[in-house]
Amino acid sequence: MKPWLAFLFAAATLPAPLVAQGAPDGRERVAEQARLIVEDAATNADFNGAVVLMRDGQVLFEQAVGLAQRNPDRLFSVDTPSDGGSLAKTLTTAAVWELVAEGRLSWSDSVTRFVPDYPYANQTVRQLVTHRNGLPNYATFDADFAPGQVRDTVDLLRATPKRQPQPVFADGVQIEYSDLGFDTAALVVESVTGRPIEAWWGERYFAPLALQGMFARPARFADWPVLRTVGYQRTSGGFVPFDAYDGEAQIGGSNVHASARDWARWGDAFARGRVMAPEWLEAGLATPMLDSGLGHSLNFLSWYCDASRQRCHYTGQYNGFFSQVYWDRSRREVVAYVSNASLAHWRRSGLTRDLVATLAGRPTVAEPAPVLNPIAKSDGSRIAGLYNSPTLGRLLIEVNADGRAFLRANAGERVSLFALPDGVFYAPMLELWLGFAGRADDPTLHLRSVFLMAEARREPVPVPGAANF
């Protein structure tokens, strides 16, 4: 272990609440194996944050490592609130789903009925929370606001007609990941209930489920209700700030803060069917947002679930922050963790899989560590083509003339791929990480998610009509 990590582990690791020595349910074994996994992630993947494992609502393991803030240093704990990124979407869709189930809202209702400033008059509530609205991303609006200026969802919606008068999708794509759509959905909830979204969450979820440290962030850092966790990224010179932005007031698609312990309790509410009426939960999990073409899919409650709908997860990512919640209804188990230090992309799903296996009493599966090729835009022909996987089937990767990459799995919907550092690509609508290794004329495609590790080989014959970068 690196010397600086040895100090932080000694100072920041919290003892897991364990039963007496020799207890038959194996909590000691779970705790010991989980500690080894966290230590390895901190040493080899820059993990910095907190992990909680639960079964039947009881904590079997919890551990924190590293710093919530640097200079001055403040240790992370399992109660340290951290930016949950897109995990906020699971709160927003739960609220919308319950209002629809109660008959107070309809999926076919026009958005403008509740949010007059919404720029696309013909769109419905369904399009907001299924990523089918074609709204611009946040970066589109940077020129409309001074650095640090407060911007809320209405401000962004009012600026949209100037920046993007019509919904925009890439050619052949009907579903694009949308944060602003979920922020707008939170405004719909506020209009229907007559209350701020945080107050509604508080009544429905925070208080009943003992989510004691969960809160929607205030726009200004100066108004934070607790000490603020800062985001970082690792560089050759050490950790440098990679933080949230002051002035963000949009809530719904992101900007909910919570500890690892609170996110674990949120997952437990789904694992044990306590979050909403059982029939509503079943219906939400059974309704897919898209045809993924894979064995797992994103559903209307904004969870990626396997074919059985017993195992589900979701992630949150925002600058240096990363968080994960996984739950298993059949085993009533939960894995949750938060990080504020840019956990290595290729290790993210693997960390979750290892913790899930440990909690379930299974051995972890050694993950191959391929040397991924960096892919320059001028060399996109190295990835375009048709791939075949023994486990996943046919995977078509296309790259259009302006350099955007897309993936279609089997007969599923076409989704966008986003290039990340170190040769990694990410498909957010599928929660799938991709990397390419081997010779340029005979690449191997490596795929990772919480549910799978797979490889695919490219067909030697080029796909007709597939463009290169």
Candidates 3.30.2420, 1.10.155, 2.40.128, 3.10.20; CATH matching 377-458: 2.40.128
85: left (phi over 0), alpha (psi -120 to 50) or beta: left
User: Rounded distance, CA 345 to CA 365, Å?
Assistant: 18
3-state secondary structure of 442: strand
Q: Tell me, what's the pLDDT at 441?
A: 83
* CATH 3.40.710.10 segments of the chain: 1-366
Give the DSSP H/E element, type plus range, for residue 445: strand 442-449
Query: Per the confidence metrics, is the pTM higher than 0.85?
Result: yes
pLDDT, residue 421, reads 82
Give 1-366's CATH code, choosing from 3.30.110.30, 3.40.710.10, 3.40.50.1820, 1.10.10.10: 3.40.710.10
Distance CA 13, CA 6 (A): 10
Separation CA 439–CA 292 (nearest Å): 29
Query: What averages of pLDDT result for each successive group of 10 residues across the chain (469 residues)?
Result: 38 38 67 96 93 97 97 97 98 98 98 98 97 97 94 98 97 96 98 98 98 97 97 92 97 98 98 98 98 96 97 97 98 98 89 97 91 80 91 95 91 95 92 93 93 95 46
Q: Which residues are within 8 A (CB) of 176 and not within 5 positions of it... i.e. 6 or more apart?
A: 131, 134, 169, 170, 416, 429
Rounded Cα gap, residues 406 and 397, in angstroms: 6
Whole-number pLDDT of residue 460: 87
Report pLDDT for 377: 67
Residue-by-residue DSSP string for 313-362: EEEEEETTEEEEEEEETTTTEEEEEEESS---GGGHHHHHHHHHHHHTTP
What is the spatial distance between Cα 140 and Cα 162, in angstroms, rounded to a whole number?
Answer: 10
Domain with CATH 2.40.128 in the chain: 377-458
From the list 139, 140, 220, 154, the residue with the least C-alpha distance to 187 is 154
| Total count of residues recorded for the chain | 469
Task: Give me the pLDDT at residue 12, please.
Answer: 42
